[in-house]
Amino acid sequence: MKYTVRFSCGHVEAKVLFGKGADRDRTIQHWQDHGVCTDCYRQAQVSQEQKRSSEMGLPTLTGSEKQVTWATKLRLEMISERQQDILALGIRASNEKGIRARLAEIGKDALLTEVAAKFEGDKRDHAVDFYCKAIVAITKLDEAKTQPSAKWFIENRQER
Ligand SMILES: [Zn+2]
């Protein structure tokens, strides 16, 4: 059944409901008392995403208003995914900090040479391989945290 519902935000929206009459009435009552329409819901999400981005100290995105709104959401998703990638490698926060500091100090090549000099044989291969992956993951996270172009996030978004 199609219903016209006035949500608690004051906006009216058409909704389709199935199931028992009593359940439908309860859902409609809940929407009228506590629910917000699709536009207001999305607007609240956008505000949350903007708030979270500024709390994280992320740069202001450049682009059209529409691009910036979309990219704000995409950026948070990308940062979260790239943080997961770092965790998946078994890198703890203190490791990450150390690697990032050394990377800034001496650069990727010198860091890998330094790591290689500390170990021998299989251990060396493993250590160098681990650091290569760690450097890529950390660099990708930093890229997402510093990139100011909304268009970049839209072009590099993960399709799912
Ligand atoms: Zn509304």
User: Using CA atoms, how far apart are residues 111 and 125, in angstroms rounded to an integer?
Assistant: 14
Domain range enclosing 64: 60-155
Check whether residue 32 and residue 66 sit in a common domain.
Answer: no
Check whether residue 7 and residue 73 sit in a common domain.
Answer: no
Provide the domain count of the chain.
2
CA of 79 to the centre of ligand 1 (A): 30
pLDDT single digits (tens) 124-151? 999 999 999 999 999 999 999 999 999 9
Secondary element (H or E) of residue 52: helix 38-55
The structure's pTM equals: 0.81
pLDDT at 100: 92
Average pLDDT over residues 93-116: 93
CA of 41 to the centre of ligand 1 (A): 7
Check whether residue 64 and residue 30 sit in a common domain.
Answer: no
